[in-house]
Amino acid sequence: MISISEAISIVKNNSEPLLKQTKKSVEKAGGYHLFEDIYSPINMPPFRQSAMDGYALHLHEDLTYTLIGEIQAGDASRLQLKKGEAVRIFTGAPVPDAANAVMMQEKVKVDGNTISITHKINQELNIRPLGEQVKQGDLALKQGTKLTPAAIGYLSSLGITEVSVYKKPNIALVTTGNELIEGGLELTYGKIYESNSKMLLSALYILKFYDVTIHKVEDDYHQTLSKLKEVINANDLVIITGGISVGDYDFVGKALKELQVEELFYKVKQKPGKPLFFGKKHHTSIFALPGNPAAALTCFYVYVYIALQNMMNKKVNELPRVKAKSVSNFTKKGDRPQILKAIYNNAEVEILEGQNSSMQQTFAISNALVYAPEDVNEIKINDTVETILLPV
Ligand SMILES: Nc1nc2c(c(=O)[nH]1)N[C@H]1C(S)=C(S)[C@@H](COP(=O)(O)OP(=O)(O)OC[C@H]3O[C@@H](n4cnc5c(N)ncnc54)[C@H](O)[C@@H]3O)O[C@H]1N2
Ligand code: MOO
């Protein structure tokens, strides 16, 4: 059995950036990173734009101007202005070539066709120059840029409808067990409602991994073998829950061996999550998480999370860890280091009752995990403890 830190470093060293590209429509590309530089297909703004509702002026020495027309936003008219002439104009409308300033209407006196301003103004006042944000052919956004809502808006303003982005992993979630039935069906004796797939799907969605398929197999070797073969071939990451311990009907380990998945580790000295498997087949990473729901989710946050961040080429690949003051007493059972469900608030952490790896109720109200190392048998109130903050 290896230690938690050995297991973490094996995951870190054996999960690489995917570096594959995929095309996305721009409105669905939020959260992705650009795979290549994007050059602007147009000038932005594409014409000299008025930044105010007011009057576009062809400046001259005098403070009065003759009004010769009106230009609304969207108008295509190209009015010619002589020196001393003005047009009524609105925010976003094209400023005629000959106009060299826009005066906001609050500062203009109108008298029929004559308007007057109170003082001389600078050239180009209140005019957004052609290509002020980006010029046609210039770099609009660099490769690697994260597409925030603002970036999506910017690219859309350039008329870009599709972008090439770094692909996120496609992920298969596989649950195993004869005892599992779907929510909505009658709970017959000996069965439980299947919950791991929904729990892990939700954890993945919160981390913005949406390309996820769910698969279910019974405790049957041939079914397990053929399903795992199929999903390993078709996915970048496979997350299995259950069937990885030593029972007569735990077929996951045997099937992974038969499929020649390279075992990077099996079994970690930790509670929960002892029978945790991590392996690789070609470029596909495979985690077999223990079936106990709280063990599965703990292993997801401590190990699978790292692989996901590495696949996305993220520099920080572990969840944040902070030092916090315990507000609870806790006595550790056994010698395995423990990862404890807890509630963190403002540098203080409460270690919860009900740490068994089947206890979903405890995890449901947690927002943190406290790490109790091997050599610590007791945590007392006011002790400083290492706390992992969960993305919940
Ligand atoms: N003789 C031994 N028995 C066990 C050992 C051991 O070392 N020696 N380890 C125990 C530990 S620790 C764990 S953790 C579990 C892990 O077992 P498996 O990964 O094989 O998981 P299962 O037996 O299939 O299921 C365990 C538990 O979780 C429930 N489960 C499974 N899948 C789901 C699901 N999708 N949704 C909800 N609940 C699920 C399942 O019904 C079981 O209660 O092994 C111990 N045994
Ligand atoms: O490793 Mo198990 O998850 O302790 O119950």
CATH of the domain at 195: 3.40.980.10
Strands 384-389 and 38-39: unpaired
282 lies in some domain: yes
On whether both 268 and 227 belong to a single domain, the answer is: yes
Q: What is each CA distance from 34 to 46, 142, 160, 167, 207, in whole angstroms?
A: 24, 7, 13, 10, 18
Q: Does 61 share its domain with 39? A: no
**So what's the pLDDT on residue 165?**
97
What is the model's pLDDT at position 333? 87
Q: How far is the CA of 53 from the centre of ligand 2 (A)?
A: 68
Per-residue pLDDT averaged across 146-167, rounded?
97
Q: Are residues 35 and 90 in the same domain?
A: no
Single residue among 311, 331, 349 that ends a domain in this structure: 311
Task: Give me the number of domains the chain comprises.
Answer: 4
- Domain end position, chosen among 128, 157, 192: 128
User: Which pLDDT score is estimated for 334?
Assistant: 87
Q: How confident is the model at residue 328 (pLDDT cuts 50, 70, 90)?
A: very high
Determine, yes or no, domain membership for 96.
yes
Nearest CA to ligand 1 atom 1: 246
Q: What integer best gives the mean pLDDT of the chain?
A: 97
Contact yes or no for 96/87 (Cβ under 8 A): yes
ipTM value > 0.95: yes
Domain co-membership, 287 together with 201: yes
CA of 75 to the centre of ligand 2 (A): 69
- Residues 108 and 91 both lie in one domain: yes
Supply the pLDDT for residue 342: 98
State the distance from the centre of ligand 1 to the C-alpha of 290, rounded, in angstroms: 6
Mean pLDDT of 359-387: 96
Verify that 90 and 196 share a domain, yes or no.
no
Indicate the residue among 145, 166, 187 that finishes a domain.
166
Residues 186 and 205 in one domain: yes
Q: What is the CA(172)–ligand 2 centre distance, in A? A: 23
What was the pLDDT predicted at 301? Answer: 98
Pocket test for ligand 2, best of 244, 271, 332 (most atoms within 8 A of CB): 271
In tens, the pLDDT along 190-239 reads 999 999 999 999 999 999 999 999 999 999 999 999 999 999 999 999 99
Whole-Å CA distances, 48 to 22, 155, 156: 36, 19, 19
CA of 242 to the centre of ligand 1 (A): 6
Residue 61 lies in a domain: yes
Q: Do 293 and 202 fall into the same domain?
A: yes
Q: What is the CATH number of the domain that holds 371?
A: 2.40.340.10
Domain that holds residue 230: 4-19+168-311
Which CATH number goes with the domain that contains 96?
2.170.190.11
Q: Is residue 385 part of a domain?
A: yes
Contacts 24+ apart (CB under 8 A), 316-322: 317/12, 318/8, 319/388, 319/389, 319/390, 319/391, 320/388, 320/389, 321/371, 321/386, 321/387, 321/388, 321/389, 322/347, 322/386, 322/387, 322/389
**pLDDT recorded at residue 191:** 98
Residue 295 alpha carbon, nearest atom of ligand 2:
3
| 345 found inside a domain | yes
Task: Name the closest ligand to CA 295.
Answer: 2
For range 318-329, the mean pLDDT: 98
Q: Given this model, what pLDDT does residue 115 score? A: 98
Whether 185 and 120 share a structural domain: no
The DSSP 8-state label assigned to residue 93 in this structure reads P
Residue 32 contacts by C-beta under 8 Å, 6 or more apart in sequence? Answer: 24, 146, 147, 163, 165, 166, 168
Decide if 66 is inside a domain: yes
- The string over 324-344, giving b where at least 16 C-beta atoms fall within 10 Å of a residue's C-beta and e elsewhere, is bebebebebeeebbbbbbbbb
The pLDDT assigned to 355 comes to: 94
pTM, rounded to two decimals: 0.86
pLDDT digits (tens, 9 = 90+) for 243-296: 999 999 999 999 999 999 999 999 999 999 999 999 999 999 999 999 999 999
**Ligand 1 mutation target, pool 185, 194, 215, 292, most atoms within 8 A of CB:** 292
DSSP-derived secondary structure letter, 106 = G
Residue 246 and residue 379 share a domain: no
112 and 230: one domain? no
Q: Is residue 259 part of a domain?
A: yes
CA of 210 to the centre of ligand 2 (A): 28
Give the per-residue pLDDT at 203.
98
24 pLDDT band, cuts 50/70/90, is very high
Q: Which of 241, 278, 300, 355 for mutating ligand 1's site (highest number of atoms within 8 Å of CB)?
A: 241
Q: Distance, CA 390 to ligand 2 centroid (Å)?
A: 20
Mean pLDDT of 83-109: 97
Q: Report how far apart the first and last C-alpha atoms of the chain are (Å, whole number).
A: 30
| pLDDT bracket for residue 315 (50, 70, 90) | confident
Report the Cα 74 to chain-centroid distance in Å: 37
Binned at pLDDT 50, 70 and 90, residue 77 comes out as confident
SS3 87: strand
At residue 185 the predicted structure's pLDDT band, cuts being 50, 70 and 90, is very high
Which residue type sits at 136?
A: Q
The pocket around ligand 1, CB under 6 angstroms, is made up of 175-177, 179-180, 192, 194-197, 241-247, 250, 272, 274-275, 290-293, 295, 357-358
State whether residue 234 is helix, strand or coil: helix
Domain assignment present for residue 316? The answer is: no
Q: Which of 372, 203, 183 is nearest to 287 (CA)?
A: 203
Q: Are residues 172 and 297 in the same domain?
A: yes
